[in-house]
Structure 1
């Protein structure tokens, strides 16, 4: 595939380099990258379509899957198209405004994704520990309100990041060694004092995501305590089986997130392309695998997807 360089450079433009040191392999890297992105879109749009179409799936658990799919489409689409333009066509330029917008939607989507995972943990807790009250505690309206709270939280706490960066003076060298505009990657382009930016990023990453993980751990602690009180081993397996998909999703999401956050600040000994590849996998692998995990683990959803797939 031919490589074209259509990147104009001016004072209002950043240059995204892609994978430093692996420029010669960009075209080959674009092949699995595009496959992950397309499969993620197909899987999540399928889940959204089936849940939206089937009235029987308009229940709290499936509404949470619907919200999870929306956040994953948002995250992967914020990163994927621009990265593919860099890999395939060498289109590396991005305006400062576009860069800040990409950063906002990426980090807001990640925070919203975390909020949905917390709500899903609470859903599992109620389903296992208070099954008789499940329908009264978790209604569709309450799930919608929790989703709205998560969205408002994401917007309010991520919005200061682009606002703070927009006030920074940027140096003449505006080359960002990345495939997308990460918060700290942009901050490092500044000639001014970025202490506030650095500290605010850490606060958001560890206070809010940390509190989400604490709530998830609390939910699972209560679930385990309730399960251990059940004498039947079959009941143990059935109760824990309902949590398997959610646990798998968390194990794919949070480690990538914290690795990406920490290596930008403390990972000077790590090769840049390793950090960038893992940061991109965080945006692409969970959106690709999560529909498969929930489709495999949720019998009703699997049957409904099969119904619409076979009818096409």
Structure 2
């Protein structure tokens, strides 16, 4: 049996079922179904990444000045695999040096040229470093796709842009999400609950939500609206000085969506597809978001992400995504078929079935 390695930041008990973690797990599941002995190979531990343990003064300074890492070494255990799916751009250069191109799939969850610039611009200390990194990643994003067996990419507008420059296959691969509209839990009469769920250890979520709350202070002061936040590290929002209801981490995202009337996805930093918007659509709640969020979706789905300027309007006027339409784009079977096609691009002995 051929061996496959999915290279991601974390693995095992440290692998959370949020955006990137859920995508890595979906990759592993799909590859296993194609007949590979599959493992998720981590690049680091969450303890170091979140708590900062083991990071010296120089490391903290580097993190403050440079928003994205440039290079990480491909772990030895992955080098020995018949198929390597690299999901972290920082490991791409090492993978090209240590593995045959016909064994490599590069999964572009995000375009780091965009992430470097937008995350860098969020802090004065990292603006210059972010702009320099953005130029470096622009060059890599132009060159690397043509050097591997196949490429997959999460954001739709980014997929369209990169499709033009690669001589190797480029496939759009959104995160798979289960369609499961939730029963609504009654809240205060006459109060509309607007919710945001995310990983608050991830900078773009913090920068974007704080900016949204600052810009919509009038909405926050209106007793007819309540802002509800949830997710890893969401307790930090209690220190921001805004009237927010904090649910904290939730075992099931359905619990969160059952407690809100509409989701807000005000993301303006980072790149890729915004899994928060897809999850909200899957749970049957209206979604308000930015143009940046809509750009990550195919054109036929963008109409379901309502402009933030319409906050406060009657929610019943906005249609929900029909199940069949949703699953044809975001269901696991659609994900598995695209993964199968990407593996077939490599022409390995153990091919997609």
TM-score w.r.t. length of structure 1: 0.29
TM-score w.r.t. length of structure 2: 0.27
Higher relative contact order (CA 8 A, sep 6+): 1
More strand by share: 2
More helix by share: 1
